[in-house]
Amino acid sequence: DAMVIQNPRYQVTQFGKPVTLSCSQTLNHNVMYWYQQKSSQAPKLLFHYYDKDFNNEADTPDNFQSRRPNTSFCFLDIRSPGLGDAAMYLCATSRDPGGTQYFGPGTRLTVL
């Protein structure tokens, strides 16, 4: 009965090698979010989709992109990962804007 699924749970990539993280939901929620959480820090919003409308946070690096091909799936693309991009990446969904957010288990990204 998993509601927000993230794959893979652990991802290792090389410096500069593009990587894609996946998130899917069975809740049929309208809004999907991506957060970055570095070690011992609070999650930080990168961007979100409200249906098909993409909203980028002002300080999200251009290196980070996102795609939402349909209601259920959302992808985070890191075009050229740097060592500073190593973090836990959390996907969340909410039924409506400002509503309760439900989080997936996260993907821990390691950059070598």
Partner 1 sequence: AQSVTQLGSHVSVSEGALVLLRCNYSSSVPPYLFWYVQYPNQGLQLLLKYTSAATLVKGINGFEAEFKKSETSFHLTKPSAHMSDAAEYFCAVSDTGGGADGLTFGKGTHLIIQP
Kindly state whether residue 43 participates in binding partner 1, applying the rule CB under 8 A: yes
Q: How far is the CB of 105 from partner 1 (least distance, A)?
A: 4
CA angle 104, 106, 111 (to 5 degrees): 160
Site string for partner 1, 68-97 (x = CB under 8 A): --------------------x-x-x----x
Q: How far is the CB of 16 from partner 1 (least distance, A)?
A: 26
Among 41, 52, 82, 112, which residue sits at the site for partner 1 (rule: CB under 8 A)?
41
Q: Which chain residues interact with partner 1 by CB under 8 A?
A: 4, 6, 31, 33, 35, 40-45, 48, 50, 53, 55, 57, 88, 90, 92, 97-98, 100-106, 108
